[in-house]
Structure 1
């Protein structure tokens, strides 16, 4: 049975969905009928006679080749703002409405990346906005946890697949050129974009603290994927640094451990790691040093060479197993 609280929550969610859809419909109708498509149609009718100044179509302030540099800059900025203010306003409002709508929709994507790219093309193609205006919309989709291929496809499709741009292409270009342009746009959106989004950011660390390294990866999807290393493993040792001298995590320091005699020498099971804050694409591993120590139960020596060259050591019974924090006082 559904409780009164759950029923009330579902009712509020449904009202937010319909309100978001209504706001999106109003925004789209106002922008399409009042600005975007009339402007694109006018440019299509004018063809090569379309006025163009610097970065914009609307020429608000004139400047000439002999105009001072500051005036050319100011005129371009002013004309660009006037050209884009409607589209940018629409993009920000539409992105906010999309973000609100996605926050109450449970199913936002397909399991197949190519299907998600097709969804993005379906969202982006009717919008017909330029890249400046499409960027906040794409941000709204991304912040709403849409799949990366959906966001990228919507961003590109808005520029290349809207009806005016496609019509202008076939009206102004030779048939084979326009057809090639359309085919390459579809190829980029429906095939290349989802393939590019298969690249992953990942981190490697001992996720389950069993002594071996696991991998956690993410490609902008709704959930991350954990690759747990379940092979028979020995013991592991984590060393984290705390430096009161300003470099709080000890980045750049070198950590050496030994599991045999407590001396840094061949045959004493010594290993070295450097503390770093870097790693893979859009990610980095934990700021700590992990050592696999096999059947040994603890380290007999842990020596830290800090970035300023000073050394901190713990030996013998002080060296523990598991997770160890090595501090340095100011």
Structure 2
């Protein structure tokens, strides 16, 4: 679609005048796509920072130290050293702090990316079909390259469900992300006998491809599934009059609200989980 700009020159040159000049120019509607461009840029920034400055360097470092003893089952390094003769309450407190420290980067990413998914899905709903098994597989395939740990994947999965995404998609992502990352797969086969490794991944696949969709189907047996949604780029108006500043402000406010919605339960559950996990590890021989 093009628009014609007519430029009329009136100049007297020896009793003659220049005629109307028409220049066809392509019709550009960049304003219609401010929102997806901003969201995509934010996603690439978050993923790039997390993957290349934290998660993959951390996984590769762990791969180099496979077989070495760890200070605890809950964490791989200590910020507060626990001595052997420390009282039980100190061991629990220090262990909880060490666990929270080991989770701080991953959980921060999980909350930020989960809130971004929530914001994205508000404007661009996922194209979800009625096949629960295929939906769970789709979520698992998205989770493979993410490489988020089990705890950190929870707020990301919550971002999918809060954005009105399907539960089986979120669960497929949740089980796949910490297990099927290529580096994690390599570490598993390096650290465990191949029979145990194959058994582990067979069980995870069974959970993703069979158990999750079967349970969801059973829970929804008395009511129909949600209607099929299609990913359509919404235009605020036919003329796309929204400015870049207006769209940026709107997305920023939505994003901050979604971050806060995830921070409240995440921080609370993390604090409880850290104390409970270290209490069990300390008090149960």
Superposition TM-score tier, normalisation by shorter sequence? 0.5 to 0.7
Q: Is the 8 A contact 2:67 2:191 kept in 1?
A: no
User: Are residues 111 and 54 of structure 1, via their aligned partners in 2, closer, same or farther at CA, if it must alter by over 3 Å?
Assistant: closer
For the residue of structure 2 that corresponds to 1:56, the secondary structure is: coil
Q: Note if 1:42 corresponds to 2:61.
A: yes
Greater relative CO (CA pairs within 8 A, separation 6+): 2
Kept in 2, the 8 Å contact 1:88–1:133? The answer is yes
- Alignment correspondent of 1:128: 147
What are the Cα deviations for residues 48-80 of structure 1, in whole angstroms up to 9, with x where unaligned?
215233521121111123202232122112211
Corresponding residue number in structure 2 for 1:85? 104
2:269 corresponding residue in structure 1: none
Distance 1:180 1:134 in 2: 23
Partners of 1:189 and 1:111 in 2: how far apart? 16
What is the alpha-carbon root mean square deviation over aligned residues? 2.2
What is the 5 A alignment of 1:157-306?
Answer: 157-200=176-219, 217=223, 221-222=226-227
Asked whether the 8 Å contact 1:13–1:104 carries over to 2, the reply is no
Identify the structure with the greater strand proportion: 1
Which of 78, 91, 96 is matched with 1:72 structurally?
91
Equivalents in 2 of 1:183, 1:201: separation in Å?
Answer: 26
TM-score by length of 1: 0.56
Question: 1:18-58: CA deviations, max 9, x gaps?
Answer: 22222111111111111111111111211121523352112
Could you list the runs of 5+ residues in structure 2 that have no partner in the other structure?
1-28, 229-285
Which of 133, 144, 152 matches 2:163? 144
Any idea what the Cα deviations from partners look like across 1:283-330, whole Å, max 9, x if unmatched? xxxxxxxxxxxxxxxxxxxxxxxxxxxxxxxxxxxxxxxxxxxxxxxx
Q: Does structure 1 residue 116 correspond to structure 2 residue 138?
A: no
8 Å CA contact 1:128–1:159 kept in 2: the answer is yes
Contact 2:136 / 2:208 at 8 angstroms: preserved in 1?
A: yes
1:57 correspondence with 2:76: yes
How many equivalent pairs are there?
200
2-structure distance, mates of 1:54, 1:173: 16
Change (3 A) 1:12 1:110: farther
- 1:146 match: secondary structure: coil
- In 2, the alpha carbon distance for the partners of 1:182 and 1:142 equals 25
Match of 2:37 in 1: 18
**Distance in 1 of aligned mates of 2:102 and 2:207:** 28
Q: Name the TM-score, length of structure 2 as normaliser.
A: 0.64
Question: Please, which moves more after superposition, 79-88 or 53-62?
Answer: 53-62
C-alpha deviation, 1:175, in angstroms: 2.5
Distance 1:104 1:143 in 2: 13
C-alpha displacement of 1:13: 6.8
1:252-278 deviations in Å (ceiling 9; x for gaps) = xxxxxxxxxxxxxxxxxxxxxxxxxxx
Pair 184,218 (structure 1): closer, same or farther in 2 beyond 3 Å = same
Is this contact kept in 2: 1:21–1:101, CA < 8 A?
no
